[in-house]
Amino acid sequence: SYELTQPPSVSVSPGQTARITCSGDALPKKYAYWYQQKSGQAPVLVIYEDSKRPSGIPERFSGSSSGTMATLTISGAQVEDEADYYCYSTDSSGNHRGVFGGGTKLTVL
């Protein structure tokens, strides 16, 4: 089955740039999406279709994708950005079955 691979954890100091990667063989042909999940809350979409930001998401969140890797970048990370981040995409079968990466715990301190 198709898999998306993320690092388990990333740690930065406030104001630094955090980068979270997601690798998958189908990413050259499939969009990547990113979700933020704070403790005890439902996930929130922060990036869709590789690099687009939904309304209400701060500009410090950006996304990019090249080859088999997608990257979520948080420029000037804030303490309130501390959360689990999940990438999402669809498999290459053409039926749009979804798959999530294992998640990355972002620590900002």
The footprint of another protein (CB under 8 A) covers 1, 30-31, 33, 35, 37, 42-45, 48-49, 52, 84, 86, 88, 90, 95-103
Closer by beta carbon to another protein, 45 or else 76: 45
Question: What minimum distance in Å lies between the beta carbon of 49 and another protein?
Answer: 6
Which of residues 74 and 88 has its CB atom nearest to another protein in the complex?
88
Q: Please report, in angstroms and rounded to a whole number, the separation of the first and last CA atoms in the chain.
A: 36
Least distance to another protein, CB of residue 76, Å? 26
| Long-range Cβ contacts of 36-40 (<8 Å, 24+ apart) | 36/81, 36/83, 36/84, 36/85, 37/83, 37/84, 37/85, 37/86, 37/103, 38/82, 38/83, 38/84, 39/83
Residue 49 or residue 80: which is nearer to another protein going by CB? 49
CB of 65 to another protein, least distance (A): 12
Contact 85, 103 (CB under 8 A): yes
Q: What are the structure tokens assigned to 104, written together? A: 């990355």
Q: How far is the CB of 44 from another protein (least distance, A)?
A: 8
